[in-house]
Structure 1
């Protein structure tokens, strides 16, 4: 009987076997889910680092995870095109910040210039919001945009954020404050 070669992982490119972890297949080499995952139930303990998130066109890989800088479950992901592993088109994050003495959780994103206008910010941010709701149990997020840059505001509006005034941030520039609240 011949050994059947392992299927090549579409994310890391390694010919690695598929292993099963709480009901879905992962690459045995890089640990990336090969199919969309439930991301676990909110009562499931969070790992020390962020999970890899997968959308139809993107793979969000943790680059600054909880144990390094934030509380468990918070951090920043790189945004890669799933059909071109290693091609990073931007970043998205769900991170805590203190404003006027009270904590807020910020959604932030940046898309590289050549990748803009293709829906990557909306798709990656939606995955980060789903993570924030499912894994962290959050009901509200905040985001900030430069008034001179209208594109990020359009993305936030499509995601259900509502403009909520202006605030002077640490950089000394005034930004538009956007708020998102989970619908009941």
Structure 2
């Protein structure tokens, strides 16, 4: 478990599946993904995330604010091949009511700190579809840097989709420790 001033990042619970399914079914939350998720797809994702945490000792932690599940933030290993893989990625997905409070940045800052200190990672990446300006702003607030030459077409997104092109951001442990 990781605690910040306002948030708790923790292992997943069965009770998280209902609010997780609701956020995954919200078209605004899923705007920069190919589709909203069905309940079965959302539950399968929650189970995969929980298994990753059990196997690796890190993952996409369930995030609580004021004792309520609001989404996930944490580290994962992408399940696709690209020029920058294998790697560890920082990611987040929060319910719409949790937007605009700085939770994504606060939780991601804590997850990066855990990755660079407890796990001894040397670098973490983050990526998102080009139109996802909100997530790109979080990446910049985290101190991550973007090299447009590293932008890529996500192999899991259909050709011709406006979401296929992705930006890639990076942060090294050295840069993280200088900035923290």
Q: TM over 0.5, yes or no? A: yes
Determine if contact 2:70/2:98 at 8 Å carries over to the other structure: yes
Q: Give the Cα–Cα distance (whole angstroms) in 1 for the partners of residues 75 and 58 of structure 2.
A: 6
Q: How many residues align?
A: 130
Select the residue among 91, 94, 98 that pairs with 1:108.
91
* Counterpart check, 1:68 vs 2:17: no
- Report which of the two has the higher share of strand: 1
| Alignment-derived partner of residue 99 in structure 1 | 81
Which protein, 1 or 2, shows the higher relative CO under an 8 Å CA cutoff with sep ≥ 6? Answer: 2
Give secondary structure in 2 for the equivalent of 1:122. Answer: helix
Determine if contact 1:65/1:73 at 8 Å carries over to the other structure: no
* Counterpart check, 1:167 vs 2:152: yes
Gaps of 5+ in 1: 1-51
Farther-moved stretch of structure 1 (87-96 vs 65-74): 65-74
| Alignment-derived partner of residue 38 in structure 2 | none
Could you tell me how far 1:164 is from its partner in structure 2?
2.4
TM-score (norm 1): 0.64
Determine if contact 2:11/2:50 at 8 Å carries over to the other structure: no
Could you tell me how far 1:67 is from its partner in structure 2?
8.0
Determine if contact 1:66/1:75 at 8 Å carries over to the other structure: yes
Could you tell me how far 1:76 is from its partner in structure 2?
1.4
Q: Give the Cα–Cα distance (whole angstroms) in 1 for the partners of residues 131 and 117 of structure 2.
A: 33
Select the residue among 164, 171, 176 that pairs with 1:180.
171
Structure label with greater radius of gyration: 1
- Report which of the two has the higher share of helix: 2
TM-score (norm 2): 0.65
Aligned CA RMSD, in angstroms, stands at 2.1
Show structure 1 runs of 4+ deviating over 4 A.
Answer: 64-67
| Alignment-derived partner of residue 32 in structure 2 | none
| Alignment-derived partner of residue 12 in structure 1 | none
